[in-house]
Amino acid sequence: MPAGRDTRPGKVTIFDVAARAGVSIKTVSRVVNHESNVRERTREKVLSAVRELRYRPNAAARALSGNRSRVVGLVYENAQEFGYTQDVLNGALGACEARDYALLLCPIGLPNPDVVERVRDFAAEGRVEGVVLPAPMGDLPAVRALLSELRVPFAAITPKEAPPDEINVSCRDRDATFALTEYLIELGHRAIGFVAGHPDHGASAERYGGYRDALAHHGVPFVRDLVRQGYFDFESGQAAARTLLGLPAAPTAIVASNDDMAAGVLFEARERGLGVPDDLSIAGFDDTRIASRVWPRLTTARQPIARMAETAARLLIERLNGGTAESLPKPFECEPVIRESTAPPGSRRGPRDPEGC
C-alpha cells in the first residue's frame, strides 16, 4: 500500500470526505443521510469522495448527533409462509442497509386480540422512525390508525385499501391470476377449481377476481362448488383439495392463491394416487422457493416480493428524510412461470416404461 493516510473502512472520517470533495461537513452529512436539498453536482462530488476513500459513516453516531434512531421496523405475521416472509425480509433489509438504517423485526401471531398493543409497544420501545407492514398487517385498520395516531410513518405491501397519502406497494394480482386461469383454459381445461386466499388479505379478492374474469371471458361456466376457502398455508390447500377432488365432477385443474396451498393440493393429489399433471394440473402464485422444490415443479405467477419490500422500505426512508408520496410506483407486474405441473387434461399416454424411456 502506498505511504500516506490509512483509508481502510473505519479509519476515514467525515472531515476527510469534506476535504476531498471541497465541501462543508454539513453538506457531506446531508448527502450520506440521503437528504434532498443538495445540488446534484455537489452530491456526485461527495459520493465520489466517499467511494475513493471507502468511507463508511457510523450509523450509531449519526443517530445520536441527529437525535434520530435510524431504525425501520418490520411488523409481520409470524405464521406467514416462510418463503414470502424471507423475501420480504431480504428486500426490506437491502433497502435499509443501503441507506445506513437498521431493521428491527416484530413478528406477531394472528388472530391476536392484543395486536394493537403489541404494535404500540414496539413503536415506542424500539424507537423506530417508520414501519413496513407486509400483508396482512397492512390490512388491519386498527394498526394503521394506531400508527397514524402515533405519527409513525408506514408503508403497506398489497393492502386492501390504498389511500393516496399513504405509501402502498402492490402488484397486478388480478391480471396474473387471469393469465394463469386463461392458460389452463387454452390447454383445454373447463372444470377448474380455485383455492381462495386468506379473507383478511387484500390480494385474495384480487386473485379470486382474476379467476372469475378469465372464466367469464372465455365463456366457461362458473361453478360455486369448485371454489374452496384457503388461508395461505399448506394445510388449508390440502384440505381444499380433499374436498374438490372428492366431488362427483372433480376438477381437472386447480389454481391455488399461493404456492404453499398449491403444494398442499399436490400432496393430496399424490395421496389419492393421481398423476400431476396427467390427471390433475396445478398452478400456484408467488413463485416462492417451494414452487421449484417440489416435483413436478409448480406453474405459478412470479410476484417480485423482495423488490416490492425493498421499494416499500426505500420509499418509507425517503419520506422520513423529506420525500413525498409523488414517487409512489405503479403496481408491479407478476410474470406467469410455466412449469411441469400443468398439461392438457387427460394427457396420460399409458403405462410408463419400467426403465423410464
Question: Which residues make Cβ contacts (< 8 Å) with residue 165, sequence separation at least 6?
Answer: 325
CATH superfamily of 173-303: Response regulator (3.40.50.2300)
CA distance 342 to 74: 36
- 120 CB burial (10 A radius; 0-12, 13-18, 19+): middle
CATH architecture of 66-170+305-330: 3-Layer(aba) Sandwich (3.40)
Residue 124 has pLDDT above 60, yes or no: yes
Query: Cα separation of 193 and 191, whole Å?
Result: 7
CB of 84 closer than 8 Å to CB of 288: yes
Q: Does domain 14-57 have CATH number 1.10.260.40?
A: yes
Q: Strands of 141-252 (E only): list them.
A: 154-157, 167-169, 192-196, 227-229
Residue 245 is placed in which grid cell? Answer: 377432488
Mean pLDDT of 313-332: 81
Is residue 212 very low, low, confident or very high in pLDDT (cuts 50, 70, 90)?
very high
Tell me, what's the pLDDT at 326?
Answer: 55
pTM of the model: 0.76
User: Looking at residue 233, what is its pLDDT?
Assistant: 92
Evaluate if residue 65 carries a pLDDT over 60. no
Residue 62: pLDDT over 70:
no
List phi, psi (to 5°) of 100.
Answer: 60, 40
Task: Identify the H or E element spanning 130.
Answer: strand 130-133
Could you state, in order of their start, the residue ranges of all structural domains in the chain? 14-57, 66-170+305-330, 173-303
Are domains 66-170+305-330 and 173-303 of this chain identical in fold?
yes
